Amino acid sequence: MDLKKFRRNISGNAFSCASSFLHHVRYSEFPTKKEAEGEKKYHDCLALRAILVFADHAALQCYQKCPECRGEAALCQERRDESWRFAWTCNSWKGRKCWSEAVGAAGVLSSLRVNSYFPFLHFVLLMTKDYRMENIYEEMEGAYGVNQKAVDSWKKTYQSALQCYVEEVDGTKVGDIAEVVAVDETAMCRDDSKISKPIGFKPKPRTIGSHKRNPLLKKVEPGRTQWKRVKKMRLKKATAKTCMKKSAKKTGQKKRTRYYKQKAGTQDDKRKSRWLWAAVECGSKSTGKKSHKLGNKRISMGLLPRAADAPDGKPRGTKSLTLVLRERVAKGSAIVADKWLATEAAAKKANLKVKGTVNHNKGFRNPVTGVHTNDVESEFARLKLFLRSKFGYVRSSNNTDVARKDEVLLLNVAEYVFYTNVGRDMASIMSAFRHAGGVSGKPIGL
């Protein structure tokens, strides 16, 4: 097999889509070249191709010199029990080898067999392209005979590497001096709810009341918008439901809702859900706006503690939010948030400036200052759409173990954060593998 020709072929658009990967990496034909005297001979197989891809991106520990005698080291291929074995060996001593190490002995790939390298590489590509897990299970089973249990272990290995890179290299803090950061929380993974929205679900558009958006007007600054008032106001017809609300306000009765808003995030909240906290960079006047289209959006997400573990038993309390603000928002940032009182108090304790707030009971933006939290609200919508389209649900798993459920949810969120902050190209994924596995060394020099 001509290794140099194969490496040149995979350096192009081999990972742009699944069909290109199969064409350039799996089914491409490379005739065996005429080896010079003393040159290593390699037999073409899927394991060898996967090793070359990982080694070319320095995601696999490679050796060009022997660690013992500092002589020349090379990749050795041997046939054993209807499978190929690969190892790095020393070629400086004739007759006997002073050193030898199996391929993949260290790093992220150490938990995989060498014959599983190519299916795992195909699995990584499908994950970056947001294929549904059901389709990935079918593809791995039909093409390579890999069962669902093995694919689930690969998923954990893959997401753990991305999570490690986000926490240690990319960083969990967002914001900067004079940077506007939108913060908010959302309830995730309700265990008592059996209702899930379909993938193509689109809610009905909400009425804005006496305001109408002007698409010609641009944003005043990150976190604020401009609107113009409609001259004629349409009066809503009185119905039995609105009359009941008015009478309830007069008499002081509470609305007939399943959960009162005063109990949300407290010990009295009976919902079995987790609060996911997020901070999203909106930009500043000097740096301009930040968006997914421009590729400069940065987010930070984390789970708030459960009521049993939270300070004072309040996951959304002042103490709990103060800790998360100090951990995930940089000093000098100006935050915009809703009218949750604990958020403003926590921002003052964390020495962060509150640029403005908006009362979501009255509208999604402040009619006076124009402050809104649409950046973080849209990020929650993107996250939930990502989870539904890829895994078919927003909940973490059906496991009864609380720690296991939190682990699965954090791994899914970490994958989304990595795609947003770092990217989803193969070079970024391989850099995460290289960091998580502690691999140090240059690409293979065959």
Kindly provide the b/e burial profile for residues 185-210, where b requires at least 16 CB atoms within 10 angstroms of the residue's own CB. bbebbeeeeeeeeeeeeeeeeeeeee
- 197 or 363, which is more confident: 363
Q: Is residue 86 part of a domain?
A: yes
Q: State the maximum Cα–Cα separation within the chain, in Å, rounded to a whole number.
A: 97
Does the CA dihedral 54-137-410-15 come out positive or negative? positive
Pairing of strands 353-358, 334-338: parallel
Number of domains in the chain: 1
Is residue 224 included in any domain, yes or no? no
Instruction: For residue 158, tell me if it sits in a domain.
Output: yes
**How is residue 23 annotated by DSSP?**
I
Question: Which one is predicted more confidently, 229 or 189?
Answer: 189
- For residue 278, pLDDT over 90 is answered with yes
Name residues whose C-beta falls within 8 Å of residue 356's C-beta, 6 or more positions apart in sequence: 223, 224, 336, 366, 369, 371
Does residue 406 form part of some domain?
Answer: no
Q: What strands, in cross-sheet order, belong to the sheet with 83-90?
A: 73-80, 83-90, 100-102
d(CA 106, CA 109): 7
Q: Is residue 255 part of a domain?
A: no
Give the confidence band of 137 by pLDDT, cuts at 50, 70, 90. very high
Rounded CA-CA distance 306/272 in Å is: 10
Burial (Cβ within 10 Å: 0-12, 13-18, ≥19) of residue 95: exposed
Interatomic CA distance for residues 144 and 63, integer angstroms = 29
- Among 416, 375, 384, which Cα is nearest to 279's? 375
**Mean pLDDT taken over the chain:** 79
Whether 69 is covered by a domain: the verdict is yes
What is the Cα–Cα distance from 345 to 324, expressed in whole angstroms? Answer: 13
Asked if the structure places residue 274 within a domain, the reply is: no
8: containing domain: 3-169
How is 58-86 classified by DSSP, letter by letter? T-S---SB-TTT--BEEEEEEEETTEEEE
Residue 192 has pLDDT above 50, yes or no: no
Predicted confidence band at 393 (pLDDT cuts at 50, 70, 90)? confident
pLDDT at 25: 85
Q: How far apart are CA 91 and CA 77, in angstroms?
A: 13
Domain-located, residue 19? yes
Residue located via tokens 């039909």: 142
Q: In 3-state terms, the chain is what percent helix, strand and coil (to 5)?
A: 40, 15, 45
Residue 313 has pLDDT above 90, yes or no: no
- For the question of whether the overall pTM of this predicted structure is more than 0.85, the answer is no
